[in-house]
């Protein structure tokens, strides 16, 4: 039986998660589905079924947690948390029912964890309030006196009076037998524990000044108020008032806002007279006090001295805390100089806005539709606003979101609420085109019905080259009448069926047809161009051939379609040959070379175009037809290198090409190139400086992750430190060779040293 095959085993699960939370889910929500998450931090990895199977070996397999030497409490916690009902529900060992938890732990794990780690076990059992298990171990397991003292100290620090009384009773002790008064006061952190320890000491021996000072230093608000009550309350002499004044001045010098917050609230509740200058300073510095009403109500005239910004801050703070009394007080003694405005992007802010409206404040709002539309709650949002008499307002964001999510319900709600006409909906769509041109879909066909609006939208789609919008209403296109503007936009953006329908149904002027023909030529719309030529359209200013368009810009498929459509190609034109070399139309290149015998200059330039645009098949063919000089091949090799064309470089190398001169691009290799490319570059570099070769080999070693080779080249200084550092860091980062990061980083000091040395030389030379 093995339950720990998965990567996130129950060992790490139990160690890193709150077992009380697991217990709560398994015990109180036992009828949840199997995939219910049982722990916030671990839920995405382990569902209830996995936790259930993970618990079984803990009860049934009698397996010890040897890997948890410092955490024996895991088994203790499980035994104390999972009681009889859980055991029965999950089908664990039936003999466990009714067994005392302490005995169960000792029996299952064959040892008493309390004997080996009494302090750690006690600490965890106190923290989870597993008292029955704690007291069982204490009664049945003798432990050293110093461990008892440490356990008492932890209990006092945790403020657990119940555990403290029972531990003292079990060991028949009193606190004054274990601690001195000053010593124990350093442990106390809660008011309840403070009054408990006073039972075991003479109250006159307690140094309250020490407690007050240490409470301020340690920011312990509860202990400060305890000592303050014991020392000052009930005394009415003037000397006491002076002492309080001095203490309060020291108190309010602290910068810890959370501590001040608690202390001020308690002092106000105790009706302590806090000087006005101290309150003014406090309110100005810290506006997050919980009891704002308790402070401000003492001096209501101060509201009129506040700036509008300060007063607005008080109003919003009171509304966020849902303090109805404080809001009423603020509204009675002063009004806002201008209306509030709430930016509603979450439901909580919407509730805040409505709360302020109901409290009598004039509040405007900006409704951010993201949250509402994300959860499809815009209708509920509008209804909430109307309940408090607020007229909802919309903007393009809400409609934008509705279109983007194809939310029919939301879009219809907005249109119906504002009673928009068909034409108004169309205008909204035009306005939103720039934001959501890919999200119209079927949604719009549900709201745009009139022929006029559909015509506008189709024309808009043709103009903006928005095929999705055009396709929405394509079934209506036979009923539509396209204008001259639609015709020209269709020629420009490639809407062939619109051009066909327009020239078939509409009598267009020759000037319009001629302009459409010229636009189709400029935009390489081969099919539209051919259609207009067949229709009889002529261009009177100069003649041109659609074949040149096809060769110049079309893909191979587009070229074939153009030829099938009747496009003619003038193979004797120089531009046709160059474009065919440039765009990879190999058959056209081959046909021109075979049948029309171009000059060597044509072929020479054609090879350059093919190499520059990585058309290797065309390059190979033309190189076989042309015998160039060594300088020509070397120039082509540089072009192929700059274009990262490794195949072209290899072909040219076979022709005898090599790098014949110093080149900065070769000297500082591009980090994006891979190892084979750089190796072949070195192979081609017959006449390059040795430094260039070293730089290239250095980069290859980095790309291949060869740490020893990199170190050797750095130590031997065959590569300049500045190049090795700068280019090396970029190469390591691009190729993600993180193990070489420190090696390259070690060069940095050499680079800095060499720069420093150069600077010193310049100074010595007197420049």
- Rounded Cα–Cα distance for residues 151 and 20 (Å): 22
Average pLDDT over residues 732-747: 64
Residue 272 confidence (pLDDT): 74
Average pLDDT over residues 665-689: 58
Residue 119 confidence (pLDDT): 83
Residue 517 confidence (pLDDT): 81
Strand 340-344 and strand 363-367: pairing?
Answer: parallel
Tally of helices (H runs) and strands (E runs) in the chain: 49, 2
pLDDT of residue 301 exceeding 50: yes
Q: What confidence tens digit (pLDDT) does each residue in 391-444 have?
A: 666 555 666 666 555 555 666 666 666 566 666 666 666 555 544 444 454 556
Average pLDDT over residues 311-338: 70
- Rounded Cα–Cα distance for residues 635 and 652 (Å): 10
What token pair was written down for 432? 């939103």
Nearest to 171 by CA among 157, 150, 193: 150
Share of the chain above pLDDT 70, in %: 43
- Rounded Cα–Cα distance for residues 472 and 441 (Å): 6
DSSP lists the bridge partners of residue 366 as 343
Residue 349 confidence (pLDDT): 66
Nearest to 390 by CA among 346, 344, 425, 348: 344
pLDDT of residue 509 exceeding 80: yes
Residue 375 confidence (pLDDT): 41
Higher-confidence position of 596 and 292: 596
**pLDDT band, residue 365 (cuts 50/70/90):** low
Residue 68 confidence (pLDDT): 37
pLDDT of residue 372 exceeding 70: no
- Rounded Cα–Cα distance for residues 741 and 722 (Å): 15
Q: What confidence tens digit (pLDDT) does each residue in 260-274 have?
A: 767 776 776 677 776
Q: What confidence tens digit (pLDDT) does each residue in 32-60 have?
A: 333 333 333 333 333 444 444 444 444 33
Helices (H), 287-421: 292-296, 308-320, 324-333, 347-358, 369-374, 378-387, 396-404, 408-418
Share of the chain above pLDDT 90, in %: 0
Q: What confidence tens digit (pLDDT) does each residue in 109-155 have?
A: 566 777 777 887 888 778 767 777 788 888 888 888 888 888 888 88
Q: Residue 61: CB partners within 8 Å, gap ≥ 6? A: 1
Average pLDDT over residues 641-645: 68
- Rounded Cα–Cα distance for residues 152 and 178 (Å): 9
pLDDT of residue 479 exceeding 60: yes
Residue 134 confidence (pLDDT): 80
Helix 526-534 × helix 510-522 angle, to 10°: 150
Average pLDDT over residues 604-632: 77
Nearest to 457 by CA among 480, 438, 484: 480
What token pair was written down for 402? 């509705």
Question: 10 Å Cβ neighbour count for 681?
Answer: 24
Q: What is the chain's mean pLDDT, rounded?
A: 65
* Residue pointed to by tokens 């010098």: 253
Residue 6 confidence (pLDDT): 35
Higher-confidence position of 165 and 365: 165
Lowest-confidence region among 63-77, 92-106, 510-524, 693-707: 63-77
Higher-confidence position of 642 and 31: 642
pLDDT of residue 86 exceeding 60: no
Q: What confidence tens digit (pLDDT) does each residue in 148-206 have?
A: 888 888 888 888 888 888 888 888 888 888 887 777 777 777 777 877 877 777 666 67
Residue 658 confidence (pLDDT): 64
* DSSP per-residue string spanning 585-626: -HHHHHHHHHHH---HHHHHHHHHHHHHTT-HHHHHHHHHH-
Residue 20 confidence (pLDDT): 43
Q: What confidence tens digit (pLDDT) does each residue in 569-609 have?
A: 666 777 777 778 887 778 878 888 887 777 777 877 887 78
- Cβ(291)–Cβ(267) below 8 Å: no
Average pLDDT over residues 212-227: 76
Residue 199 confidence (pLDDT): 75
Q: What pTM was estimated for this model as a whole? A: 0.35
Residue 688 confidence (pLDDT): 59
- Rounded Cα–Cα distance for residues 606 and 554 (Å): 18
Q: Give the gyration radius of the chain's Cα atoms.
A: 43
């Amino acid at each position: 039986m093995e339950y720990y095959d998965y990567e996130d085993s129950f060992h790490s699960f139990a160690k890193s998660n709150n077992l009380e939370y697991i217990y709560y889910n398994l015990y109180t929500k036992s009828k949840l589905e199997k995939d219910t998450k049982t722990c916030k931090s671990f839920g995405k990895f382990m569902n209830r079924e996995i936790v259930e199977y993970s618990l079984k070996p803990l009860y049934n397999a009698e397996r010890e947690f040897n890997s948890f030497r410092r955490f024996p409490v895991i088994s203790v916690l499980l035994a104390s948390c999972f009681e009889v009902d859980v055991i029965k529900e999950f089908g664990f060992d039936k003999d466990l029912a009714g067994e005392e938890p302490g005995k169960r732990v000792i029996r299952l794990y064959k040892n008493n964890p309390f004997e080996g780690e009494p302090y750690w076990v006690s600490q965890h059992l106190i923290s989870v309030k597993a008292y029955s298990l704690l007291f069982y171990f204490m009664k049945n397991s003798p432990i050293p006196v110093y461990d008892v003292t440490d356990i008492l100290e932890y209990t006092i620090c945790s403020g657990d009076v119940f555990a403290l009384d029972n531990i003292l009773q079990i060991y028949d002790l009193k606190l004054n037998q274990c601690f001195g008064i000053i010593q124990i006061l350093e442990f106390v952190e809660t008011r309840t524990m403070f009054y408990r320890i006073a039972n075991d000491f003479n109250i006159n021996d307690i140094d309250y000044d020490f407690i007050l000072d240490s409470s301020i230093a340690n920011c312990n608000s509860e202990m400060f108020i305890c000592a303050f009550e014991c020392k000052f309350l009930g005394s009415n002499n003037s000397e006491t008032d002076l002492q309080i004044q001095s203490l309060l001045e020291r108190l309010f010098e602290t910068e810890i806002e959370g501590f001040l917050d608690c202390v001020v609230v308690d002092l106000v509740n105790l009706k302590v007279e806090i000087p006005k200058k101290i309150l003014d300073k406090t309110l100005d510095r810290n506006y997050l006090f919980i009891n704002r009403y308790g402070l401000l109500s003492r001096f209501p005239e101060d509201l009129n001295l506040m700036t509008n910004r300060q007063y607005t801050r008080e109003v919003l703070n009171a509304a966020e805390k849902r303090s109805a009394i404080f809001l009423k007080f603020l509204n009675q003694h002063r009004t806002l100089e201008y209306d509030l405005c709430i930016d509603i992007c979450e439901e909580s802010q919407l509730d805040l806005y409505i709360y302020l409206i109901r409290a009598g404040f004039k509040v405007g709002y900006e409704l951010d539709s993201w949250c509402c539309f994300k959860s499809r709650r815009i209708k509920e949002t509008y209804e909430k606003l109307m309940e408090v008499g607020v007229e909802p307002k919309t903007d393009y964001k809400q409609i934008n979101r509705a279109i983007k999510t194809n939310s029919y319900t939301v879009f219809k709600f907005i249109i119906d609420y504002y009673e928009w006409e068909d034409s108004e909906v169309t205008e909204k769509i035009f306005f939103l085109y720039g934001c959501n041109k890919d999200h119209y879909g079927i949604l719009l066909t549900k709201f745009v019905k009139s022929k006029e609006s559909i015509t506008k939208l189709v024309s808009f789609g043709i103009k903006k080259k928005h095929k999705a919008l055009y396709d929405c209403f394509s079934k209506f296109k036979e009923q539509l009448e396209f204008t001259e503007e639609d015709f020209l936009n269709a020629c420009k953006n490639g809407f062939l069926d619109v051009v066909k329908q327009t020239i078939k149904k509409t009598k267009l002027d020759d000037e319009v047809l001629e302009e459409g023909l010229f636009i189709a030529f400029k935009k390489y719309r081969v099919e539209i161009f051919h259609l207009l030529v067949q229709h009889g359209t002529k261009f009177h200013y100069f003649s041109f051939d659609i074949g040149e368009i096809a060769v110049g810009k079309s893909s191979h498929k587009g070229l074939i379609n153009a030829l099938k459509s009747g496009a003619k190609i003038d193979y004797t034109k120089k531009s046709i040959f160059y474009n065919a070399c440039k765009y990879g139309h190999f058959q056209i290149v081959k046909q021109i070379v075979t049948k029309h015998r171009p000059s060597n200059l044509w072929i020479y330039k054609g090879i350059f175009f093919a190499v520059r645009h990585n058309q290797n098949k065309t390059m190979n063919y033309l190189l076989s037809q042309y015998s160039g000089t060594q300088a020509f091949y070397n120039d082509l090799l540089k072009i192929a290198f700059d274009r990262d064309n490794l195949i072209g470089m290899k072909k040219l190398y076979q022709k005898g090409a090599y790098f014949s001169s110093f080149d900065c691009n070769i000297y500082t290799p591009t980090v994006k190139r891979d190892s084979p490319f750089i190796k072949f570059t070195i192979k081609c570099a017959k006449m390059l400086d040795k430094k260039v070769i070293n730089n290239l080999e250095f980069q290859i070693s980095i790309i291949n992750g060869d740490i020893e080779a990199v170190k050797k080249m750095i130590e031997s200084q065959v590569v300049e430190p500045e190049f090795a550092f700068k280019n090396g860091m970029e190469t390591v980062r691009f190729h993600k060779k993180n193990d070489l990061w420190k090696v390259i980083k070690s060069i940095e000091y050499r680079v800095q040293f060499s720069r420093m040395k150069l600077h010193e030389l310049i100074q010595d030379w007197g420049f």
